[in-house]
Structure formats: C-alpha cells, structure tokens
Structure 1
Amino acid sequence: MATISAKLVKELREKTGAGMMDCKKALQATDGDLDAAVDYLREKGISKAAKKADRIAAEGLVHVASKGNDAVIVEINSETDFVALNEDFQKLVQDIANHILEVKPEDIDALNKSEIDGQTVQDKITEAVSKIGEKLTLRRFVLAEKTDNGAFGEYLHMGGRIGVLSIVEGTTDTEVAKGVAMHAAALNPKYVSKDQVSEDELNHEREILKQQALNEGKPEKIVDKMVEGRMRKYLEEICIVNQPFVKDSEVTVEKYLQQHDSKLVDFVRFEVGEGLEKREENFADEVMGQVNK
C-alpha cells in the first residue's frame, strides 16, 4: 500500500470538500492516485468534485481586446493582488494584448521573442519586473477570428480576475455576444455543446453515476434510466448552450441566441491563477519580515 502523505490528503480535501478521514480512506483505496480518489469519493456520494472550481492560486490580470475580425484573451500573472491595481502593470497587460493582435504569434515562445516598442516582449516584461518589484509571468493567450457577420463578446469581471471572449455568428450585435460572455463568466461551463465532449468523458461520468446509484441502494433495473436522467443534468452543467441563460432563466443560452438569429461558435474563459499553486504565506508575517530586514 502506498504511503499517504498529509499533503496529499490536504490536496484531495481542497479539491473535493470531503472530510479528512474520508480523503485518507479514498487515497488508501486508490494507492495514492489523486484523480482516482476523487472518483472514489464521488461514487460514494461524499464529494461533489465535478462542481468544485479548481483552486485559484496566482494573482494578476486577464484582459480581452479586439480589432476588426480578430480578438485575443491574455493572462499575465504576478506574485500579489496589489500588482493588479498598479497602473503600470495594467498598461503592460493592455499593450501586450494589442501587440498580440498585431503580430499574431503562434505561441508564448514566439510572443516573447517578438518585438514591441523596440525591444522583445520578454525584455519588456523583465523591465517591468525591475520597475514593479515582483516576478511577472506571461502565462497564456488565445487568438480568435470571426466573420463580417459575427460579433465578439468581451467581458471582464472583478477588474480582470475573470475574463471571457465569446465568438458569435449570425449577428453583429456585440451586446448579444457580451451577454453570452457574462453568462460564461458566471457559470463557468466547460464546453459549447455535447458535440465537444469526448466519448471517454461521457462514459467515465456515466460509470460514476451508475456506481453512485447502486451505492444508494437503487434497484438495478431502474439504474440505467436514472443514470441517463443524471447525464442530461450533467451535460446541462458543463455545456453552455444547454444552460438556463443568466439574464433570463426561462430560456437556454441556445434559445437566447436563436432569438437573435445567431449561434455560439466558441468561447474562452480565463480565471486568474486557475490550476496554479499559490505561496502559502501569512500576509502579516510577510510584512513583518520586510520590516525586520
């Protein structure tokens, strides 16, 4: 049996919200496999892990910009949330977003090597580090295109903690597209529609739901019907077009768009620091550490 560390138990607890002992048992039962332990807890009905947001760790800003038929969403990270309020940092993020629209780099490496204001983007960020006094990381970006008969939805929430770029075709009304972007910011869907969900993911979820139902003591003859009902609810939770629209819960996002003779092509949602590990420091101790230097 694998040795289960306290750190691994803590990580599972943060991902699932389950109790410490339940997490330890799940890890023991799965030989320390974190993903398998999440599934184990869900099958036992102990965890609602699929609905838990990933731990938000790093600080910084997300920015969305567009020009003509091109748009970009970009995330740049910093060490503390104070930097997000720094005007120099905000301008840096905006300048880099506009630069991406101009040069359309293939990836982060190409972006860092491209020139902006007579210097490489990497050198510009290094210069900003010296001025701002914190490590800055150009983490990710996504470029998008639309047709002349389309619209971009650009939405920033909490001053750039969450950013969404939606691409809608069939209308040039940016407010329609922005409504979808706001919805994605609020509900955090994973996909546009069921068509984007892999068979592996569907089968994986179906098996978990089946084990849930059996563990609840439901008669085996009705389990399959229950599972399909729960699968419909699961798809509603992860696919944006099936979700009740945040501005009008009487219609789905798909129906809302149909009312405007349009459809959602794609969307990108960035949340600052998602999936990154944050430094575990006490702010008061950090300040005192600086004072005592």
Structure 2
Amino acid sequence: MTITAAMVKELREKTGAGMMDCKSALTENGGDMEAAVDWLRTKGLAKAAKKAGRVAAEGLVGVAASGTKAAVVEVNSETDFVARNDAFQGFVLDVTKAALDGDGDVEKLAAANYPGKSGSIEDNLKDLIGTIGENMTLRRSAVVSVDAGVVASYVHNAVADGVGKIGVLVGLESTGDAEKLAAFGRQVAMHVAATNPLALSADEVDPEVADRERQVYSEQARESGKPENIIEKMVEGRMRKFYEESTLLKQAFVINPDLTVEAAVAELGKEIGAPVKLTAFVRFALGEGIEKEESDFAAEVAAATAGN
C-alpha cells in the first residue's frame, strides 16, 4: 500500500511522533492507522499522544535577527501559564535562532538538530510536552533576508527578550547607513504590528480578497441607481481607498501620518544618500486562525460537583 503524506500527517497529529517514525509505523502496519498508533506506543514514540488532540492556541512568537536575515516562529501551548515558563521560553528562543539557518519551512525546522543538544527540535519538543504536561506545537516559521541593508524586527507584548504575542520582520534593502536603516525598520515593524496590513502593495493582495471587495462595492454602488459608467468610477474609488488602508506602502505611517509608508521610505533614502526599498514584511500574531474551544465555566463547575 502507498503511504501518502496525508496519512503521515494524520498519524503525526494523532501521536505527536516524528515524521519518519510515523512513516515507518504506517509502512510496518500496511497503512492501518490504529495499528500504527499502537506500534508507536509500543516503541515509546507516542508519549505525547494523549495530549496531541488538545487545542494549543496560546504560547509565544519568537524573533531572531542577524544583520541581513531574520526569522520568526510561533510555538503554541494550551495555556498562557506555560508561556511564562522559563523552559518553554528557552525552547522558543532556541528554535527561533535555529530558524535563522533555514528557509522558513516549518517541517525542515522541526527535523533540524536542536542547538546544543542531541535529537531534533521535534524530539526535544516532545520531551518538553512530557515534562510540562501540555500539548505544544511548532506551528509556523518564516524568514526575511536582503542582499544589502537590514532586516528589522519587533516583538509586541514581550514576556522576555525576543519572545511575545506578536512578532514582525521588515526587510529594507539599501547600501546606506545601517544604523539609521535599523532604527527606521523598527518603526515600520511597530507600524505593521499595529495596523496588520494585508500585503506589501496592491499587486501582492490575494486576488480572491480583492475580487470579493470589488464585488461588495459593486453591489453597494448599484443600489444607488446610478448609470453603469458612474458605478464603475465609484467602485474604482473605493478600491483605491481599500488599497490605501490595507497595503503597507500606501498606509499612513503611524509615526508620521502626514506621510505614507512609501513616502517615508523615500524620505529616508534622501536622508542617508542611498535608495531604500522596503522588500518584504512578516507579521505573526499568536493564535491567529486557530479555532479555540469555547467552554462554559459555570457548566463545567456544575458537572464537576454533580452528585457531591
């Protein structure tokens, strides 16, 4: 039987075991998922299995920068309490530093050697799960690099140096003064943390998102009963405003709202005597996109005390 990547992924999510261990378990058991789970448990490779199904939406985002390259990672836990744990913070910092050697691929990062220890990052995460007693996941990773210039970083709601609730990277390409580039880059990173732009420029906005916006504006404009040529102009005007509000280069710079971010970049180029290009940004906000389980605390207490 062919063992697919989807099968390996499912087994990994069920057990918390490593990718190669999961593939071996499925191969040994002819693709039988339950038998593969038991095989991993027998081998002692599924020690995090009981915890792997629990929602992990808390944790920390970490950033690490080294001149022309920087990395950001998100490691999730079940509770905010764990985010204040020194061992967990140390793990996130170590993983973020290791991510500087990668390309942003989280699977490769998980399989990489853990800095200064034996075993992979994934293996050490499983050990941490066993020690702390909560489900944890290395959720995502990204890197930004430039040929010349700086990659600035910023952590919002930091609980320790380099780790917090929001992590931002901003790439600035230039041969100008690195110190001034870094200071400006940090300001832009703070701007990104505050405004959460959809993309760097209009060209980089997801076409599906842009089409959905255009459709909404078109329907709203048609309700006015105006001629089609007027409606078209109304829609284009609203789309321009949409891009001004949602793309980084066109947004009003929070540090100086009289300038767009694009204009502020041009001003910096004049100041340092060399062109500056804002090439990329990444923003990780802890837990975004994870569906959290809603609980009724009163109901839980009632259930726990029933019959007592």
Does TM-score exceed 0.5, indicating one fold?
yes
TM-score when normalising by structure 1:
0.73
Return the offset for 1:265.
0.2
1:266 to 1:163, Cα distance in 2 relative to 1, 3 A: same
- Residue 270, structure 1, aligned to residue 278, structure 2: no
Q: How far apart, CA to CA, are the structure 2 residues paired with 1:282 and 1:217?
A: 48
Q: Percent identity?
A: 42
- Which residue in 2 is equivalent to 1:64? 63
- Residue 112, structure 1, aligned to residue 110, structure 2: yes
Note the residue ranges of structure 2 that are not aligned, 5 or more in a row: 1-55, 159-163, 270-275
Return the offset for 1:220.
4.2
Q: How far apart, CA to CA, are the structure 1 residues paired with 2:304 and 2:130?
A: 18
What residue identity is the alignment partner of 1:255? A
- Which residue in 2 is equivalent to 1:90? 89
Q: Match of 1:141, SS?
A: strand
Return the offset for 1:284.
6.8
Q: Match of 1:276, SS?
A: coil
Q: Match of 1:115, SS?
A: coil
1:29-79 residue CA offsets vs partner (Å, 9 max, x unmatched): xxxxxxxxxxxxxxxxxxxxxxxxxxxx81111111012322101000111
1:222 to 1:62, Cα distance in 2 relative to 1, 3 A: same
Note the residue ranges of structure 1 that are not aligned, 5 or more in a row: 1-56
CA contact (8 A) 2:72 2:99 kept: no
Larger Rg: 2
Q: Match of 2:268, SS?
A: coil
- Which residue in 2 is equivalent to 1:144? 144
Bigger RCO (CA 8 Å, 6+ sep): 1
1:235 to 1:111, Cα distance in 2 relative to 1, 3 A: same
What residue identity is the alignment partner of 1:274? E
Moved more, 233-242 or 164-173: 164-173
- Residue 237, structure 1, aligned to residue 237, structure 2: no
What residue identity is the alignment partner of 1:233? K
Q: How far apart, CA to CA, are the structure 2 residues paired with 1:279 and 1:240?
A: 33
Q: Match of 2:59, SS?
A: strand
What residue identity is the alignment partner of 1:237? E
Moved more, 254-263 or 193-202: 193-202
- Residue 279, structure 1, aligned to residue 293, structure 2: yes
What residue identity is the alignment partner of 2:142? V
Return the offset for 1:81.
1.4
Q: How far apart, CA to CA, are the structure 1 residues paired with 2:299 and 2:208?
A: 47
1:223 to 1:135, Cα distance in 2 relative to 1, 3 A: same
1:290 to 1:139, Cα distance in 2 relative to 1, 3 A: farther
Q: How far apart, CA to CA, are the structure 2 residues paired with 1:70 and 1:226?
A: 42
Q: How far apart, CA to CA, are the structure 1 residues paired with 2:64 and 2:97?
A: 7
Return the offset for 1:107.
2.2
- Which residue in 1 is equivalent to 2:166? 162
What residue identity is the alignment partner of 2:107? D
What residue identity is the alignment partner of 2:110? N
Root-mean-square deviation (CA, aligned residues, Å) is: 2.4
How is 1:117-196 mapped onto 2 (pairs within 5 angstroms)?
117-148=117-148, 150-159=149-158, 160-170=164-174, 171=176, 172=178, 173-196=181-204
Q: How far apart, CA to CA, are the structure 2 residues paired with 1:272 and 1:241?
A: 24
Return the offset for 1:291.
10
Q: How far apart, CA to CA, are the structure 1 residues paired with 2:94 and 2:298?
A: 34
Return the offset for 1:215.
2.5
What residue identity is the alignment partner of 2:290? L
What residue identity is the alignment partner of 2:280? D
What residue identity is the alignment partner of 1:266? A
| Runs of 4+ more than 6 Å apart | 284-292
Return the offset for 1:175.
1.0
1:284 to 1:190, Cα distance in 2 relative to 1, 3 A: same
- Which residue in 2 is equivalent to 1:21? none
